[in-house]
Structure 1
């Protein structure tokens, strides 16, 4: 699973709580998932001046979201890609092309529900590492199954 499930031993994180603001710790460490979301996500995606909405089941993989973005923006699906879960380029955690063995969790192995995304969250999708097409993805709505 991409993000950790809470266990009884949180001692590693506890060491840092007095050194950082709470929101900084949340951006630095993996998100805690209480219960995976089951339903439909509506994403608002933006590439330059172009905006579109994409709906996906929580059971879809991040590769399925990649394929939807490819269709929405008319890309040819012939380059590597990554999703940056912090919304900042080239940061961890990231989810990447299954063929990109050097970085990130493989996109075909992570479902949307496993990401821990919540309404209002924003992530960044970069397609074609040379051209760096950057698509901002906001979780606009989550509808329970």
Structure 2
């Protein structure tokens, strides 16, 4: 099967690419197709995140597992595209270059039969130019009252003894 994805840069301007790729390809193959379609060199760290209908970030699937030990992550080259996306789960978030945070919304738009004369992955359509710099992200506080901390969370800069850590921690 061929999966047709729309990959949208999370920015004010309309910038997206439509890519066809074989469902059994890995997320690393999709990562390479996305970086090429948007003109990136592909040498930066990146991750996919499983997402829901509200575009909430779920499980991370990394380009490389940088964790050591028990908390290892799934990695792109060991995860097939159809393992994380299907008709019921159509959305992924893709973050490229963790210093710049290029963020893309990836949505499965269609599932089709392969065409004999086509090679995959295939860039079907490109719209908009990628900006020179990654779009700025606006981070919103989880505190519904605003950014002000309540009195219980205020830190007295003169009294560091209440910070609840061992000063010889290293």
Q: Could you tell me the TM-score, scaled by structure 1's length?
A: 0.65
Aligned to 1:96: 62
Q: What's the CA shift for 1:117?
A: 2.7
User: In the comparison of the two structures, how many residue pairs are matched?
Assistant: 104
> What is the CA–CA distance in structure 2 between the aligned matches of 1:62 and 1:94, rounded to whole Å?
12
**Paired residue for 1:41?**
3
- Change beyond 3 A, Cα 1:44–1:116: closer
CA distance in 2, matches of 1:79, 1:71: 13
Contact 1:82 1:104 in 2 (8 A): no
1:70 paired to 2:41: no
Superposition TM-score, scaled by structure 2 size = 0.56
Q: Give unmatched runs, 5+ long, in structure 1.
A: 1-38
Residue pairs, 1:14-93, within 5 angstroms: 39-47=1-9, 48=11, 49-86=14-51, 87-88=55-56, 91-93=57-59
Check the 8 A contact 2:85/2:91 in 1, yes or no: no
Between structure 1 and structure 2, the one with the greater Rg is 2
Deviates more, 1:130-139 or 1:118-127: 118-127
Runs (5+) with no aligned partner, structure 2: 115-170
Superposition deviation, residue 68 in structure 1: 0.2
Distance 1:85 1:120 in 2: 9
